[in-house]
Structures are given as C-alpha cells and as structure tokens.
Copies of this chain bind each other. A is one copy, B any other.
Amino acid sequence: MRQFVVIAHEAPADGNFTLNDLAGAGRIDLLCRCVNSALLLSHAVRENVRLHIVVDDTVAIEIDGSTVRHLHPDERSIAARLQNALQAAEEAIGYQPVESAPGIKTYRLGVAETLDRIEAGTIIQLHEDGTPIVEQEPPADPIFVLADHQSVTDTEQTLLDTHCDQRITLGPQAIHADQAITVANNYLDTEGFTQY
C-alpha cells in the first residue's frame, strides 16, 4: 500500500471556511489538490492509496482509496468533503475516529500520533536535500510525508528525523505538495514499466 501524510499548517481545524475562498482558508485549495493527486486516476480511484491530512497538529483526516465513494476531482467538491470531515472532529476521541463518509475518517491526533497509528511501511520525507528518487529503489509500502505550502517547522523536523527511514527529493525544482504527490505516484506506477 502507498500512503501520503500531508502536514497542514494554516487550514482551519474546525472546518469553518467558505467554499468560495479556499485559498483564503489556510490554503484548503492545496489540500484538495493533494486529495486529487493522491487518490484519483482518470475516471478511477487509486484503491491502493491512503492519504492522511494532519491539520494544526490536532486533527487527522484519513481518506482510503479502497472504500471512498463519489470522490470528484475539483477543489470545491473535495473541499466540501474535507469540511464535513473537519466538522465531525468533535465527535472523535483520539484513536477512535468518526467516519464522516465512506472511506473518510477523522481522528483527533497530531503528526506524531498519526505516524504511530497508520499501517506500517517505510516512512519517507520528501525534502529538497534528499536523495534523488530515481536513485532509490522504491520500498514495498512507502509512506511519503510532506508539508503544505509552508516548510516543516523545526519541531516537526525533529519529530520527522526520529520517524523517517529515508529522505528523498523528486527533482531540482521546488514544486507544490500536490504536484509532488503526482510525481511520487507516477514514479511508483512506472517502476519496471520499461520492462513490459
């Protein structure tokens, strides 16, 4: 299984935002595109992917490609799903999530607890100073960790240093988080592709 963990710094953890200004709502637009990039193919869902969005180090939304339904690719419809998930958070208690829709669960957990909770795999920080991804054999169950439009804080980096098994860069350009997820997915898709 592939997993992505996106650390969101400014998105409102209470889901209090308007769908008419997603960029102004702590860059919810970016998180919506991360959902799209992680989980959607053309006319299909990536059933082998789980995405975790940790908002404000207090709320974690998990979207599971194998069970999520009716996920559309545009930002506005995804934002409505995230808003529902965030607003459901008050019903969640730590490791006991609330499921706001099939395949979408909300936990009251931060980054550290999320990395502890999720299914095991090789935890990989996407980082500009990492090893080029093309030089690294992809692990069987990668868990890519990346931040939204802001860099990880020093506190978060200290945490990631203790949790991450690898640090990888996708290229010489600093790209958006959603673009990075698209590239990582493609890299895993095409592993061995030339052999077919």
Give the interface of A toward B (CB within 8 A): 19-23, 29-30, 33, 36-37, 40-44, 72-77, 132, 134-135, 149, 170-176, 179, 182-183, 185-186, 189-190, 193-194, 196
Contacts and interface: CB of A to CB of B under 8 A. Distances in A.
A75 B174 CA distance: 20
A132 B29 contact: no
B73 A75 contact: no
A173 to B, nearest CB: 5
A179 B182 CA distance: 6
A134 to B, nearest CB: 6
A41 B172 contact: no
Contact of A74 (B23, B41, B135, B179): B23
22 contacts: A19-B20, A20-B20, A22-B76, A23-B76, A23-B77, A29-B74, A29-B75, A29-B76, A30-B73, A33-B73, A37-B179, A41-B173, A41-B174, A42-B174, A44-B174, A75-B75, A134-B194, A172-B189, A172-B190, A173-B186, A179-B182, A179-B186
Given A171-B186, A186-B171, A176 B73 contact: yes
Given A22-B74, A74-B23, A183-B183, A190 B176 contact: no
Contacts of A193: 132, 134, 171-172
B76 A20 contact: yes
A170 B186 contact: yes
A189 B73 CA distance: 26
Contact of A43 (B134, B174, B183, B185): B174
Nearest to A184: B186
B40 A176 contact: yes
A44 B172 CA distance: 14
Contacts of A22: 74, 76
